[in-house]
C-alpha cells in the first residue's frame, strides 16, 4: 500500500533518527518543513521533504490532499486506565464539596469503587465500554497508548482486565501496550492485610499473568496510603523474573521514595511526580527512567503540577501522558494535556509536543517505531486544519483542529 500526502503547509516532528528520547535543551526544538509532502509505503514512512522534491507516483498510490493543513506525528499516551466500568461523577461532586482524593479513598471510594463496579461486568461489557474510549482518543490524535489494569484487585478480575486489553490490541488500529497494575490498591478482601495482598500479587497474580502473556510491563502505586518503597521493590523484582519491566506511580500525594525505587530497579518510567523534590530530580540524572507528568490529573484534582521546568533545566527527558481514568482524570485528550503543560508547567510548545510524542513513546519502549516523522517509522500521523504555526496547537486549547487521522498509513474511519 502506497500513500502520498501533499499540499502540507507545515510538516512537524521530523527526524530524530536513532534518538530514543530528547533531553533537556533538546526538547525545545521541533523541526519542520514548509510546503511539504509525506510518502508512505506498507504502513511506514518512506520519505518526506519539500513539495518541489516530491517523488513520482504510480497508479496504485493513494493521494491525499492536506489542503494547507499541518501534519504531525500522532500523540503517544504512556499512562492510561481506560478499561473501567462506569463513571464516578459522585466523587467529582465530593471533591467540589471539599473532600480530598485520600479522604474519598478512605471512605471506600476511589480505586476500590471502580473495582466493585468492574467485578460486576463481563469481559464483553468491559470491552464495549473501553472501545468507545479508544475511538475517542484516536479521534483526538493518539496513535499509541499504554493501558493499565488495576481495577480488578483480585486474580480473576485482574486477568479479566488484561484479557480485555489484549482484545483491544488485537482489534484496534492504535498501538497498545499492556501494564499489569495489580498493586494499584489493596483489594477489599485483604483489608487490613496489606502484606498478604502483596504476597497475592507476587505469588498468584504474576504467574497467571505471565502464563497467558498478558502484560508488557508491571506497575505499582508507590505513595502515601498505598504501597511502600519496600513493597514496590519486591513487586518490581518479582515482575522482572517474568521479563516484565517496571513502571511506578510515585510522588503524587507525597514524597514517597518511589523515584529511588524506580532508579534502583531501572524502571522504564516514573509517573505523576506532583510532589517530587530536588533530590528526585538529581536521582533521575543519567538513568534510563523517563519522568512522566500527568497535567490532567493536577488540573482535575486541583493539586500542584509536576515541576517540569526544573526537570528540563536539569537536563532530563520528560514525557506527558493523560492518565485517563474515571476518578482523577476522566479525559484522554492529549492536545489538552499539551496545553496544560504549557499553561501550568511553563513548557514551551515544542517542549510539550515532544514530551507528548517521542518522549512518551520512549516511556512505553516504542520510540524506535513511534513518536516522530522519521523514515522507517510506523506512519501514525494526523492532518490539521490550516493553522498559522505549531504554537497554535496548545494555544487554541479547546479548538478541534484535527481533520484527518492515519494509523499505519491507513485513514481512520469508523
- Could you tell me which residues are annotated as the binding site? 79, 81, 88, 151, 184, 249, 252, 323, 325, 327-328
- Binding site for N-formimidoyl-L-glutamate, residues? 151, 325, 327
Within 161-225, strands assigned E span 175-183, 217-222
Classify burial at 116, counting beta carbons within 10 Å of its beta carbon; exposed 0-12, middle 13-18, buried 19 or more: middle
User: Which one-letter DSSP state was computed for residue 26?
Assistant: G
Sign of CA dihedral 151, 204, 229, 319: negative
To 10 degrees, what angle do helices 155-171 and 111-119 make? 80
Asked if 38 and 9 touch (Cβ cutoff 8 Å), the reply is no
Rounded Cα distance between 30 and 13, Å, is 6
Residue 403: its H or E element:
strand 402-407
Cell numbers placing 350: 515544542
- Binding site for Zn(2+), residues? 79, 81, 249, 323
- Binding site for Fe(3+), residues? 79, 81, 249, 323
Classify burial at 165, counting beta carbons within 10 Å of its beta carbon; exposed 0-12, middle 13-18, buried 19 or more: buried
Classify burial at 391, counting beta carbons within 10 Å of its beta carbon; exposed 0-12, middle 13-18, buried 19 or more: middle
Asked if 185 and 148 touch (Cβ cutoff 8 Å), the reply is no
Asked if 345 and 311 touch (Cβ cutoff 8 Å), the reply is no
- Binding site for 4-imidazolone-5-propanoate, residues? 88, 151, 184, 252, 328
Asked if 179 and 148 touch (Cβ cutoff 8 Å), the reply is yes
SS3 of the chain: helix, strand, coil, percent, to 5:
35, 25, 40
User: Which one-letter DSSP state was computed for residue 188?
Assistant: G
Cell numbers placing 355: 514530551
What would you report as the CA-atom Rg of the chain, rounded to the nearest whole angstrom?
Answer: 21
Helix (H, G, I), strand (E, B) or coil at 241: coil
Asked if 142 and 74 touch (Cβ cutoff 8 Å), the reply is yes
Amino acid at each position: 500500500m502506497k500513500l502520498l500526502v501533499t499540499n502540507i503547509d507545515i510538516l512537524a516532528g521530523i527526524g530524530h533518527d536513532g534518538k530514543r528520547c530528547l533531553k533537556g535543551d533538546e526538547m525545545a526544538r521541533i523541526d519542520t518543513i514548509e510546503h511539504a509532502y509525506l510518502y508512505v509505503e506498507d504502513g511506514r514512512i518512506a520519505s518526506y521533504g519539500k513539495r518541489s522534491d516530491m517523488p513520482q507516483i504510480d497508479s496504485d498510490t493513494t493521494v491525499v490532499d492536506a489542503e494547507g493543513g499541518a501534519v504531525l506525528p500522532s500523540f503517544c499516551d504512556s499512562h492510561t486506565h481506560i478499561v473501567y466500568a462506569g463513571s464516578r461523577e459522585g466523587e467529582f461532586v465530593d471533591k467540589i464539596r471539599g473532600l480530598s482524593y485520600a479522604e474519598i479513598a478512605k471512605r471506600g471510594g476511589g480505586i476500590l469503587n471502580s473495582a466493585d463496579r468492574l467485578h460486576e461486568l463481563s469481559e464483553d461489557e468491559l470491552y464495549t465500554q473501553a472501545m468507545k474510549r479508544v475511538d475517542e482518543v484516536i479521534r483526538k490524535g493518539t496513535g499509541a497508548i499504554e493501558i493499565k489494569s488495576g481495577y480488578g484487585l483480585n486474580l480473576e478480575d485482574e486477568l479479566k482486565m488484561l484479557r480485555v486489553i489484549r482484545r483491544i490490541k488485537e482489534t484496534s488500529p492504535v498501538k497498545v501496550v499492556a501494564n499489569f497494575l495489580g498493586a494499584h490498591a489493596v483489594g477489599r478482601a485483604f483489608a487490613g492485610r496489606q502484606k498478604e495482598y502483596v504476597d497475592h500479587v507476587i505469588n498468584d497474580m504474576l504467574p497467571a499473568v505471565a502464563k497467558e502473556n498478558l502484560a508488557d510491563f508491571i506497575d505499582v502505586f508507590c505513595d502515601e496510603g498505598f504501597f511502600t518503597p519496600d513493597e514496590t521493590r519486591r513487586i518490581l523484582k518479582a515482575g522482572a523474573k517474568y521479563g516484565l519491566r517496571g513502571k511506578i506511580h510515585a510522588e503524587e500525594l507525597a514524597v514517597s521514595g518511589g523515584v529511588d525505587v524506580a532508579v534502583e530497579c531501572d524502571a522504564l518510567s516514573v509517573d505523576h511526580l506532583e510532589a517530587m523534590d530536588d533530590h528526585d530530580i538529581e536521582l533521575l540524572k543519567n538513568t534510563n527512567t523517563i519522568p512522566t507528568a500527568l497535567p490532567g490529573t493536577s488540573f482535575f484534582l486541583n493539586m500542584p503540577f509536576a515541576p517540569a521546568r526544573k526537570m528540563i533545566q536539569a537536563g532530563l527527558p520528560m514525557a506527558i501522558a493523560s492518565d485517563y481514568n474515571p476518578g482523577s482524570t476522566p479525559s484522554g485528550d492529549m492536545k489538552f494535556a499539551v496545553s496544560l503543560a504549557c499553561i501550568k508547567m511553563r513548557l514551551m510548545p515544542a517542549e510539550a509536543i515532544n514530551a507528548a510524542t517521542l518522549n512518551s513513546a520512549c516511556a512505553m519502549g516504542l520510540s524506535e517505531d513511534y513518536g516522530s516523522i522519521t523514515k522507517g517509522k510506523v506512519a501514525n500521523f494526523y492532518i490539521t486544519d490550516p493553522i498559522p504555526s505549531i504554537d497554535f496547537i496548545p494555544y487554541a486549547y479547546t479548538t478541534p483542529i484535527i481533520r484527518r487521522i492515519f494509523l499505519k498509513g491507513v485513514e481512520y474511519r469508523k
